[in-house]
Structure 1
Amino acid sequence: MEADFIVVILPGGKGTHIELGIALGLEKRIFLYSPNEEVNNFETISTFYHLTEVEKCFGTLDELLEKVTTTNVY
């Protein structure tokens, strides 16, 4: 609850989606990471992934870290 942001790394399980829901409710900044763009497959993913509060990130973990550390999260 004290975090400024959350990073959701896919594939995520039930607990991951609970944390995502809590972050949405607390209006936290959310980075959703997938190494590929499978998160855009509407048939297999959660609708929550497409909310405007969720920032999708693709590529390597290094690219994710670069995005998280250079993005203003406040």
Structure 2
Amino acid sequence: MKAGARSTLASLWHISDKSTAILIGEFYRQLVKTEVTKAEALRRAQIKLLKDYPNYSRPGYWAPYVLVGNWL
């Protein structure tokens, strides 16, 4: 945010690199493919991780992500 980004996606605690890569990939896929808001793209990515990846279905893997700044 200090560098001038309008928004950033952050985590509240340390998370597995593999689950993060899946979530972030899906987040950007949702942004580009469906043209939804950043908040909605994050929600959809979290749901996908929860439902489609049994190893990462626990909230510790998908819940700690927050959008800071402009959510649109």
Is TM more than 0.5 here?
A: no
Higher helix share: 2
Structure 2 length normalisation: TM-score?
A: 0.29
Scaled by the length of structure 1, the TM-score of the pair is 0.29
Q: With CA pairs under 8 Å and 6+ residues apart, which has the higher RCO, 1 or 2?
A: 2
